[in-house]
Amino acid sequence: MCIPTPHNAAKKGDIAKKVLMPGDPLRAKYIAETYLDNPVCFNTVRNILGYTGLYKGKEVSVMASGMGMPSIGIYSYELFHFYDVDQIIRIGSAGALQDDLNVKDIVIALGACTDSNYGSQFHLPGVFAPIADYHLVVRAVEAAKKLETPVRVGNVVSSDVFYSDDAAASDQWKKMGVLCAEMECAGLYMNAARAGKQALGILTISDHIYREEAMTAQERQTTFNQMMEIALNI
C-alpha cells in the first residue's frame, strides 16, 4: 500500500520509531501539547489525531487508536508495516476486576487474554497467547520505580464487548486472576508479534467493575499523567 493510507495522512518520515497510542484523540492532543517540544500534527483523518515532537531531546510520536481491536488493529498495522515504527505503547483506561485494585492505579499488561476472534486471521494450529515485549515491560517497571509510581504487572483481558449480555463473564475472568478489562491490548500484541515489532500496554484504572467507582470523561482525558510519564520515560 502507498502512503499516505486511507486512515493516516502522514508521509514517510513524519512518524517516530516510538509511538504512544491512547484510545482518545483528545488525549493524544493533550499529551503532545503537555509533554512534547515542538509537536507537529501529522494526521487528522477521521479525527484520529497524531503528533510528532521531542521528549528530552528524543523524537516520539503520539497517535490515537480509537476504541476496540478492529480500530487499533488498523492503525498499529499501518504504523508497523508502512511507517517503519518499531515500538507502540498503548496508554489507556481499564476497568478493575480484582478487589485490591482501585481507581487511578496503574497496570502494566504483561499478557492480554481475549474473547475476540481477531487471532483467527493468522490460521494458527492452536490458541495464541498475546504478550507484551519483555524488554518494554522491564523498562516500564524501571521507569515507574524512578518516578516513584506504584504499578501492578499481570494479565488483562481485551474484550470485544463493552456492554456484555453475559453477566457472569467478569466473574470468570476474575477467578483466573485477570487484573482488569480493556479493549485493545490483545490486538496490538498480535499485530506486533506478526510484524516482529515491540508493543506494550500501560493502563490506568478508570472504574471498578464491582464497585461504584469511576473517573469522569474529562478526568480520563487529562489526568492520566503518571501512566503517560512512565511511557515517555521508557
**Residue-wise over 84-113: b if at least 16 C-beta within 10 A, else e?**
ebebbbbbbbbbbbbeebebebbbbbbbbb
In 3D, which of 113, 119, 21, 129 has the Cα closest to residue 65?
A: 21
Task: Report residue 90 as a C-alpha cell.
Answer: 498503548
N- to C-terminal Cα separation, the chain: 31
Q: Which of 86, 115, 160, 207 is catalytic?
A: 207
- Annotated catalytic, 207? yes
What does the alpha-carbon distance between residue 83 and residue 60 come to, in Å, rounded to a whole number?
13
Q: How many Å is the Cα radius of gyration of the chain?
A: 17
Residue 37 sits at the vertex; the CA angle it makes with 50 and 78, to the nearest 5 degrees, is: 25
What does the alpha-carbon distance between residue 167 and residue 208 come to, in Å, rounded to a whole number?
15
State the catalytic residues: 207
